[in-house]
Amino acid sequence: MVSTYSKVRNEIQMKAMVWTRYGPPEVLKLQEIDTPIPKDNEVLVKVHAASLNAGDLKIMRGESFILRIMNGLRKPKHKILGDDIAGQVEAVGKNVRQFQPGDEVFGVSNFGAFAEYGCFNEKYLVRKPGTLSFEEAAAIPMAAIPALQGLRDKGQIQSGQKVLINGASGGVGTFAVQIAKYYGAEVTGVCSKMKFDMVRSIGADHVVNYHDEDFTKNEQRYDLILDLAAHHSMNDFKRALSPKGIYVCIGGTMSQYIKTLLLGPLITLRGSKKMRIGFGNPNQEDYEFLIELFEAGKVVPVIGKRYPLSEIVEAFKYFEEGHAQGKIVITVDYS
């Protein structure tokens, strides 16, 4: 199947937002390039929707030396950005067993999402249920998975706990609020005042305006803090924890992330409070768990704005301004 497909597909081009140098959103250029051919363990997906993540922006700008080591010091190794995809399987490599042409899937692409077609490893994909649209599915992978694993695995969330989500109105934050409520927590969301109504609508019991109030300096203490913004020092976060509280950092600046990675274990060793780093590790089991929550109506993807692929530069600019509520989704129109 693949060899025959390859001969035909070699003559067909696709549209993609191509990225050849680090910089602002304007470095992304809509171009026509060859449609890729799946390797043995890959699936070729006709992309119907993708979504933006803070990591995409950091990688695009080459914000840190560490990111440049991973993705190319002088110029990016990959031509196409984007991690979250949802679409339909067009062809499969010879070793693929989970999927076949026609299957609707979503998952993590590890680059290549901002294009009409992409080749992605089958182990990072899962079948899309009919109850989710392509746009909703594209909002999930790099937001819902870190939220779930940060709360459940790193944060050891328990019913009745006081949980604070710092950055509650963003992509990860909107999933985190809903997942924390599913586990029976009393949830406080931190965001700007203009996003209060949305954060309350998805279940937050309390909302703090970070412009007017510093939650690390009041008398309230939290059993679990999930930090997606990292605008405070580790000592500030430690002070806001209950005696056996847990702080989990899964967002913010690279410097804060590194500080937590290096200093967190030392702080943890000195007392009962724990300071941890969270990573998103997509896997079939957690995708299936989240799909159950979506189908039961316990968690709903929050999509703040949609842009067509051709307007992705404007989408990133809007994202940088910090006005987005939930996820920004990129749609691909083949009409």
Spatial separation of the C-alpha atoms in residues 182 and 169, rounded to whole Å: 17
Is the same domain home to 6 and 110?
yes
Comparison of pLDDT for 212 and 63, the residue scoring more: 212
Q: Does residue 282 lie within any of the structural domains? A: no
Is the same domain home to 230 and 307?
no
Could you read off the pLDDT of 109-138 as tens digits, one per residue? Answer: 989 999 999 999 999 999 999 999 999 999
Out of 261, 277, 293, a domain closes at 277
| Number of other residues whose CB lies within 10 A of the CB of residue 186 | 17
Spatial separation of the C-alpha atoms in residues 177 and 301, rounded to whole Å: 11
Could you read off the pLDDT of 3-55 as tens digits, one per residue? Answer: 445 544 556 899 999 999 999 999 999 999 999 999 999 999 999 999 999 99
Rg of the chain's alpha carbons, rounded to an integer? 20
Check residue 102 and report its DSSP letter.
T
**pTM for the complete prediction?**
0.92
Q: Does residue 286 lie within any of the structural domains? A: no
Out of 277, 293, 321, a domain closes at 277
Spatial separation of the C-alpha atoms in residues 142 and 50, rounded to whole Å: 11
Tokens for 144?
A: 């819902």
Q: Does residue 293 lie within any of the structural domains? A: no
For range 227-231, the mean pLDDT: 85
Is the same domain home to 102 and 150?
no
Comparison of pLDDT for 72 and 321, the residue scoring more: 321
Domain total in the chain: 2
Task: Report DSSP letters for 117-169, one per residue.
Answer: EEEEEGGGEEEPPTTS-HHHHHTSHHHHHHHHHIIIIIS---TT-EEEEETTT
| Cβ–Cβ under 8 Å, residues 143 and 327 | yes
pLDDT above 50 for 1: no
Is the same domain home to 53 and 83?
yes
CATH number at residue 18: 3.90.180.10
Q: Does residue 60 lie within any of the structural domains? A: yes
What pLDDT band is residue 302 in, cutting at 50, 70 and 90?
very high
Is the same domain home to 257 and 310?
no
Domain that holds residue 67: 2-140+301-331
Is the same domain home to 155 and 241?
yes
Q: Does residue 252 lie within any of the structural domains? A: yes
Q: What are the CA-CA distances from residue 100 to residues 14, 86, 104, 151 (Å)? A: 21, 15, 9, 34
Is the same domain home to 133 and 151?
no
